[in-house]
Amino acid sequence: MSFGAGVPTVAVADLKDGDFLLDVREDDEWKAGHAEGALHIPISEFVARYGELTEAAPQDGRVHVICRSGGRSAQVTMYLAQQGVDAVNVEGGMQVWEAAGRPVVTDDGQPGFVL
């Protein structure tokens, strides 16, 4: 699935442990299951909560943006790029993450699922 030219992307298989991950799905999706250690800022609140990202993201590191399938994260990736942030869209989102066998957990560390 392609969301337009010019959106930098990365495959789930190319992500390494410790890469900074920003999940922009909504609260119900996050509660069902997410990548452990990801920062959660729903796209609907993103601009208002932008400061949380700048505080949490590595100074000279890359922000890997993820949603369910890649559409919302592509929008946030483009916004971040316009702000001068090194950001990439995680291709296929949490659906591909889960299909690749990457762990999906709930807030209490139990196994989760992608909603």
Residue type, 68: R
Strands laid side by side in the 63-66 sheet: 9-10, 87-90, 63-66, 20-23, 39-40
Angstrom CA distances, 40 to 6, 50, 90, stand at 24, 11, 15
% of the chain residues with pLDDT over 70: 96
Share of the chain above pLDDT 90, in %: 91
pLDDT digits (tens, 9 = 90+) for 17-42: 899 999 999 999 999 999 999 999 99
Residue 6: which pLDDT band, with cuts at 50, 70 and 90?
confident
